[in-house]
Structure 1
């Protein structure tokens, strides 16, 4: 598919007003996307687990307005106006206006809430932008009542990507690939693709316990971080590494090889942070407690032989990944050894989810 496939095909009139709502999950990348080209195109392919408990709920109310010269919206986070989010939504609407021109025809009220701390490295922009994209596609569906469900999701992923790259991986579950990879049929730089191949039972009910080392805002935004890959001395080798790791992960996912899974996932996490530490300017996003947790996970794995591992996003928080078969032992280990290194002892028990869900709005 190309961008032209997502241009509007109006067949029905738009409603005067209404309200739609969606819940979209966050995701945690196993092979990381870090570095992008123009128009939110990834410099390398990535793959992620879709989460379940960490999610954004967004309600979009819309009312036709008289002029279509500019965008008009109010934005609320947890019931309070959030003025500092508005520029990002303005940029998003500007990018998608060609594909959903009706965004200029309405005044929107965007009411959103997260089940987890935003801007702290748990991909709140991914779940937030995907939820908003789904709401907009719900509105477009009024014009095309017979829209194919797979096209609905694909275009929503395409739109979400234009708001936040990793958002295109937050619509479906349980594994999603984004970025063109020659051995993954249907993969694209334009949208996320539900992983189309056989996955071993070892990976069917994976858990992700997120240790909140630092609940504050990230030291550096993802946008700034991605831009630092331009001219980075190790960028091209990193992109090749990610491509190779995704190839390796295909074999691992089919065979159920947990030991090799651990190696790839942890290497990807540390490489992401190594790229930040070797950029110009450079950043260290990990905190002392991040390193304490990592070392304790390594010690626990060596002592028990259990295939528990960690991954990191662009922040200090640690995602502890483990299969269902060792859940009780790992939770006990987390409570006994790792919680002490969390901000106020806070952590989130999550699991691999099935993707976004439309929310039912009660009738008045």
Structure 2
């Protein structure tokens, strides 16, 4: 804490969002204007979040950035761009520099949307610190030019990011609308992914023959998904979400050279979900998956099926780490009828969470 008389500080907490219909491709790289609309769920702050403190005073001689209390040697170009825009909009021209301290409660750069929560928390903190005009739309703009999908983490609940006009995001339904929906995140690999989303998107736009075909289906899928969310039709919700995930990764594979985010564990989970959904011989889908640009699945499930699905995960992904399956006591032996291999010690962590209500100013 500084003793400077003009020292000011704001801390914001924001959570990642998980795209049900993916954003993939930018028609404007500089302003991060998306090629298509996207639809997402913002996660609960208590389970996954970025925590960012931004401070300023006249005694600071340069911008500094600390991640997990380690000073970074330089600011990224996107962070510089965000700060440049803040200075352009700020009314207080005397204070020129900031100190940014940020950390995540979950792994970064591994397909878990860490950049979305990081830039959302940064954007909101900066907007409040410098008391910028039109705070919500300003924070959304700053978040977007930092990391496109961060614009969706400005809100809680179900969020749509438009590709039209000013490309703003909006809350379609609040978290309370579908309060029994749960999200189970399986972290198979927390390592940094081999190809960044930014590089992969550009490569896709330049080389994929399936890319334009995917764009032509997006709005129809979003409209159908919004209707399913409205009436809480989980079967339709699940089917559209899983099919868009598969289509997104097919486009990545169609890129040259191909971008491959899914690993053997990802593919195993896909097979496991479909077999599990068919076990009871009825038409009720119990669980749905989606994968962002990484190998780690996000599974959507209603509260009534959570315990059984967690038991299934413990059966097929046993591990020596007792913390991984801490939510499970017993394993149902009926899963032995599933003809898939058991994969031991491949699961690093399970996060059980729900839909979040959005960012929060801490101080």
TM-score range, shorter chain: 0.7 to 0.9
Per the alignment, residue 35 of structure 1 pairs with: 25
- Supply the distance in 1 between the matched residues of 2:209 and 2:55 (Cα, whole angstroms): 47
Check 1:330–1:358 CA distance in 2 against 1; reply closer, same or farther (3 A cut).
same
Q: 1:257 Cα shift?
A: 1.6
The answer to whether the 8 A contact 2:158-2:175 is kept is no
Which residue of 324, 327, 331 maps to 2:306? 327
Per the alignment, residue 336 of structure 2 pairs with: none
TM-score by length of 1: 0.83
- Would you say 1:291 and 2:285 are equivalent positions? no
Which residue of 198, 209, 226 maps to 1:233? 209
- Supply the distance in 2 between the matched residues of 1:103 and 1:327 (Cα, whole angstroms): 53
1:296-345 deviation digits (Å, cap 9, x = unpaired): 11111111444201000001111111122322222222222246556454
Which residue of 49, 63, 78 maps to 1:55? 49
Which residue of 176, 179, 186 maps to 1:204? 179
3-state SS of paired residue (1:58)? strand
- Would you say 1:195 and 2:172 are equivalent positions? yes
Per the alignment, residue 165 of structure 1 pairs with: 148
Per the alignment, residue 197 of structure 2 pairs with: 222
Q: 1:78 Cα shift?
A: 1.2
- Supply the distance in 1 between the matched residues of 2:55 and 2:176 (Cα, whole angstroms): 42
The answer to whether the 8 A contact 1:49-1:175 is kept is yes
- Supply the distance in 2 between the matched residues of 1:103 and 1:274 (Cα, whole angstroms): 49
Per the alignment, residue 16 of structure 2 pairs with: 26
3-state SS of paired residue (1:233)? coil
TM-score by length of 2: 0.83
Name which of structure 1's ranges 207-216 and 344-353 shifts more when overlaid on structure 2: 344-353
Which residue of 154, 158, 161 maps to 1:175? 158
Q: 1:81 Cα shift?
A: 1.6
Per the alignment, residue 113 of structure 2 pairs with: 123
Q: Structure 2, unaligned stretches of length 5 or more?
A: 320-342
1:61-104 deviation digits (Å, cap 9, x = unpaired): 1112698xxxx311111111233654442243345554447699
Equivalent pairs, count: 327
Compute the RMSD of aligned alpha carbons: 2.5
The answer to whether the 8 A contact 1:293-1:338 is kept is no
Name which of structure 1's ranges 351-360 and 332-341 shifts more when overlaid on structure 2: 332-341
Per the alignment, residue 312 of structure 1 pairs with: 291
Check 1:293–1:73 CA distance in 2 against 1; reply closer, same or farther (3 A cut).
same
The answer to whether the 8 A contact 1:25-1:170 is kept is yes
Q: Structure 1, unaligned stretches of length 5 or more?
A: 1-14, 145-150, 182-187
- Would you say 1:274 and 2:250 are equivalent positions? yes
Check 1:331–1:110 CA distance in 2 against 1; reply closer, same or farther (3 A cut).
same
